[in-house]
Amino acid sequence: MDPAIADQLLADKLGIEVVDWTPARLVATMPVKGNLQPYGLLHGGANAVLAETVGSIAAALNAPEGKLVVGLELSCTHHRAARSGVVTAVCEPLHLGRSTSTFEIVITEESGKRTCTARLTCVAVDRAPGRAK
C-alpha cells in the first residue's frame, strides 16, 4: 500500500475490520452505527463498500504472481435492513481464473439473517513500475 494514502481508506472510515482470512474464505465486520441512510437503516452503499472491500482482498490473496487486482463489476441485492449492531460479511470464491476472479459475499446481521448478497468480479492487471504493491 502507498503510505501517502494510508489514512484515506474508505474501509477505515466505515469501521470495516477483517477478522479472518484465507484464500478460500474471508470474513469482515462493520458497525451499523455511523453508516446509516436518512431512515435510520444501514446504507446500501455501505453494504457495497463492505462487499467490495472483502472481495478485493480475497482477489488479491488469489491473484497470479506479479499481478494487481481491481474491481470490474459489483452487484448487490439488499434483502432486509440492518438497524443496529454489527453486520458480518463472508466472502468465498466462485471462480478463480488467470485474468478474472469472481466472489460471492453474504452479509448478515447479528441474528444471522441475511441482509445482502453481493457478487464481485475482479480483473488481474500487470503491475506497473512504481505502482503501489
User: What pLDDT band is residue 131 in, cutting at 50, 70 and 90?
Assistant: low
Measure Cα distances from 20 to 27, 59, 88 in Å: 5, 15, 11
Note if 52 is an active site residue.
yes
pLDDT digits (tens, 9 = 90+) for 9-29: 899 999 999 999 999 999 999
The domain 11-126 is classified under which CATH number: 3.10.129.10, 3.40.50.720, 2.130.10.10, 3.10.28.10?
3.10.129.10
Percent of the chain past pLDDT 70, that is, above it, reads 95
In the chain, domain spans: 11-126
Give the span between the Cα atoms of 65 and 61, in whole angstroms: 10
Q: Where are the beta strands (DSSP E) in the chain?
A: 17-22, 25-31, 67-78, 86-96, 100-108, 114-126
Catalytic residue selected from 52, 73, 104, 109: 52
pLDDT digits (tens, 9 = 90+) for 47-84: 999 999 999 999 999 999 999 999 999 999 999 999 99
